[in-house]
């Protein structure tokens, strides 16, 4: 007796010399499709469900990408402060030190003089040292935030930035800080800063949620896209 798809009746086969394969989707994959599209399939195969399944995954990944793009564009909204002492009134738990070391290009010394001409528009700012250092700082900041977020932190304190050069004359940006969780961020952040960060946090939470869904972890209180 041949194995057939419970939805469309097509034969489930790993393929032969002439026929191509028609695989059945796993329960987990069927569940994801039902969840995203509001369908109620008990099983689907490549023949009847491929288009819908791929559209559902595409939709989830697209939404996650939007969240990631938002976080990348708004990484400055993640609270980072140079103060090394925990502000009074903050309910703070320390996670760990976070570091980032970024090499921003060679020619630090030859380009140092160019830095001044950058100020007067004499050189192409797209290749100038100032731009390299600024983008190096932005990269270092993103690295710190990424590490802090992975730890479940919502703030980085004691942030310190150093600039240096390597033996082969490349400029470096070295940034470090302490990732912490502050349970009452509203007690120490200004309202507009807090508001921006809550949007950042919402994007992060959504991206993490979608990642769990894609891994098949659908809880009863999951809300579809």
Among 32, 48, 144, 182, binds Zn ion (CB under 5 A): 48
- 45 in contact with Zn ion (CB under 5 A): yes
- 5 in contact with Zn ion (CB under 5 A): yes
Please say whether the beta carbons of 81 and 73 come within 8 A: no
Among 4, 7, 134, 146, binds Zn ion (CB under 5 A): 7
CB 59 → Zn ion: shortest distance, Å? 21
CB 32 → Zn ion: shortest distance, Å? 16
Classify 137 as helix, strand or coil.
helix
Per CB under 5 A, the segment of 5-13, 52-60, 73-81, 163-171 that binds Zn ion is 5-13
Distance between CA 176 and CA 199 in Å, rounded?
Answer: 25
Question: How much helix, strand and coil, in percent to the nearest 5, is found in the chain?
Answer: 45, 20, 35
Q: Is the dihedral of CA 27, 32, 33, 37 positive or negative?
A: positive
Distance between CA 67 and CA 204 in Å, rounded?
Answer: 7
Which lies closer to Zn ion via its Cβ, residue 45 or residue 133?
A: 45
Kindly list the residues in this chain that would bind Zn ion in the complex (CB under 5 A): 5, 7-8, 10, 45, 47-48
């Amino acid at each position: 007796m041949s194995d057939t798809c419970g939805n469309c009746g097509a034969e489930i086969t790993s393929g032969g010399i002439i026929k191509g394969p028609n695989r059945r989707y796993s329960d987990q994959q069927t569940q994801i499709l039902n969840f995203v599209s509001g369908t109620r399939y008990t099983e689907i195969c490549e023949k009847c469900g491929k288009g819908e399944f791929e559209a559902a995954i595409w939709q989830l990944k697209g939404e996650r990408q939007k969240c990631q793009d938002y976080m990348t564009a708004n990484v400055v909204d993640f609270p980072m402060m140079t103060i090394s002492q925990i502000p009074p009134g903050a309910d703070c738990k320390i996670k760990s030190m976070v570091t980032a070391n970024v090499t921003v290009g060679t020619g630090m010394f030859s380009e140092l003089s160019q830095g001044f001409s950058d100020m007067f528009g004499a050189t192409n700012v797209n290749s100038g040292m100032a731009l390299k250092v600024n983008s190096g700082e932005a990269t270092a900041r993103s690295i710190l935030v990424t590490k802090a977020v992975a730890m479940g932190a919502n703030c980085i304190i004691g942030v310190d930035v150093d600039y240096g050069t390597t033996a082969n004359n490349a400029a470096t940006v070295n940034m470090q800080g302490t990732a912490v969780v502050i349970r009452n961020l509203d007690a120490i952040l200004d309202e507009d800063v807090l508001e921006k960060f809550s949007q950042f946090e919402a994007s992060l939470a959504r991206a993490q949620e979608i990642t769990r869904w894609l891994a098949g972890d659908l809880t009863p209180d999951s809300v579809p896209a």
